[in-house]
Each structure stands twice: as C-alpha cells, then as structure tokens.
Amino acid sequence: MFWKFNLITTSHVETLLSKENVTLRELMDEEDILQECKAQTKRLIEFLVKPEVMDELVDLITHEPPEDVDEKMRYKYPNIACEILTSDVQQINDTLVRSETLMAKLLGFLDNEPPLNPLLASFFTKTAAILVARKADSMFYVCMQKENFVPLLLKHIETSAIMDLLLKFVACTDSEALRASITQWLDKAQVVQQLVALIDPGCSEEKHSNAAEALCEMIKLSREQMSLLQEKAPADPLLESLESTETVASLLEHMFSGDRTCESVFVNGISVLLSLLEFRKQGLAGQQQQQQQNSNNADGPNGGGLGGGSSGGTGMMQNETACFASLFFRSENAEQMTALDVERL
C-alpha cells in the first residue's frame, strides 16, 4: 500500500521558494499559491511581506493592466494579488498598514478621475475593507491623514465598490470610542448633506441609486447600534444629521427642483424617506404598530392623510418642502415611543 513508502508531496510553491531570485509572477502562476498563503506557510509569508513584493502587489490592484494582454489574462495577476492581500494574514495586514508608502499608493487609487475601473475598484475596496475590519484604529488614522479622503469617496460614489467602503467605516464597531470618532469625522465632512445633494436631477442615475442606498444603510446601521447599546449609547452626530429637519427639507428640495420627470430621483429619494420613517419597534410598541398599521398608512402620521384632508392637500401643493419635512421632524415636546424607550421600560 502507498503509505508504506512514506511519500510526502512537496508544494510547488515551496520548490519555487528554494530557487534563487524567484519572482512574484512565478509564484502567482502556481495553482496552490492562495492555499499556501491562507495556510500561512512561513517561507511564503516571509517572501510576500518583503517591501518590493508588497509594492508590486499593491501596484497590481491599483493600476490598469497592459491593454495589449489577452482579455482573459488581463486581470489574472491583479485578481490573485487582491486575494493575497485579503487572505487575512496578520503579517500582511501589519506590513501594509504600517507602511506610509504602501498606504499612500493604495489610497492614491482614489485620486483617479471618475469613472473608476469597476474591477480595480472592487480590488481596492476589498483590500481597504480588510484593514478597516482588522486594523480599524490604524486605518482610520491613515485615512484621516489623507487630504480630501471623504470628498474623494463621494466623488466616486457612483462606483458601487466605493460606496461599500464608505459603509464599512459607518459599520465599524471595534470600540465605542472609535465608532464615535468615525461618526464625528464623517459628520464634520458633511457626508449626509453631500449624499443628499446627489439625489438631484442634475446627477446620474448611478449616483442617485448609490447615494440613496448609502443613506438608507447609514440610517439602519446607526439605529441598530443605538438600539444595541440602549442607555449606554453615546450621541451619534451622523444619525442626528440624518434625522434632522434640515436634511429632509434639503432632500425634498433636490427631489422637487429642476426636472420633475426624473423618475430615478423620486424613486431613490422616497426610499430614503421611508427609511427615516421606519421604526422596528419591539414589545408593546410593536403590537401597537401592527394593530394601527393600516390606519396609519391611510391617515398619515398626524391623522387625516399626508395633507390633513383636502385643505391640507392644498397646503402641500403650495409648500411641498415644508409640508413633507414636517412629517419627519421630531418635536422635542412630542412623545414618540421607540424600540429604545420600550427596552428602557
């Protein structure tokens, strides 16, 4: 039987690493390169974290491959490079985030003019996202140091992968202190206001869709975090901006300005408004919401429909922005039971 001969299979990668002057491309041509990387083979990891090798890996995922290469092979090496960089190996993560040169090159991808190559954008976001997940503090500091980092994200918001990266920061919950710093940073950069401004007839449908999706996810993530922490939840400036009267009024102003036949603006704008109105109530509040759902849909939040009857309808037509904004404004004197209130009771 074969085990009597004590046969040991040697990885082709190991064999190549024994070669003098082996190149990254040679290793990337081996089928088991990713398997060996994820297995954290010592000699391979030591090779990959060399400065010149890491530099080549980042180059591959941030620069357009040569056009004279066959289309099927054009993105072979960038794809493998991305898989290596995102294999969640601590040494690779540490080497990348600690190098100012490598991080400048990685984040420099955002300096390209739109539209970005969607495939390279996905490689970039996947690599940046693993650093947000594993090295949140360091990644946050590096991004803060890059001039116009947030404006650059918003500049490329029509590329879905870039929108995903923005949401990775919003969803970062490594620690309460870090999340508070991130939300303050994003709020200071007026992310909410700038996303709202993109839901405008003057912008592309891709910007409408991605800006609305980003706003909806930010509302959801922020509220979930507040609900999770309950009374321990710190103030969330991002959520406060999202739920402010000024934000809703601005959204409505953009929706109703210019070309009113732009279906994309209304579809995406309404999706944001619905997210603001949505409260996932639990316990007693949930039962009340279920019992009154039909009447609420018919009568509106204040009773008597969105416009408060025929005269209210006339008022809405006369001043659409003010009327709609009032539906979302939380009066300080109004008692409104939320899931957080129910849990406190």
Distance CA 222, CA 138 (A): 22
pLDDT band at 175 (very low <50, low <70, confident <90, very high): confident
Q: What is the pLDDT of residue 342?
A: 41
* Mean pLDDT, the chain, integer: 83
Please list, residue by residue across 187-206, b when 16 or more beta carbons sit within 10 angstroms of its beta carbon and e when fewer do: bebebbebbbbbbbbebeeb
Q: What is the pLDDT of residue 321?
A: 52
Q: What is the pLDDT of residue 326?
A: 53
| pLDDT (mean) for 168-187 | 91
Q: Is a pLDDT exceeding 70 seen at residue 243?
A: yes
Residue among 176, 178, 101 nearest 132 (CA): 178
Q: What does the longest C-alpha to C-alpha distance in the chain come to? A: 93
pLDDT band at 232 (very low <50, low <70, confident <90, very high): confident
135-173 residue pLDDT tens: 999 999 999 999 899 999 999 999 999 999 999 999 987
Domain boundaries, the chain: 9-147, 178-292+319-325
* Secondary structure element (H or E) that encloses residue 310, with its range: helix 310-318
Q: Is a pLDDT exceeding 70 seen at residue 246?
A: yes
297-342 residue pLDDT tens: 445 444 444 344 444 443 443 355 554 555 555 444 444 444 444 4
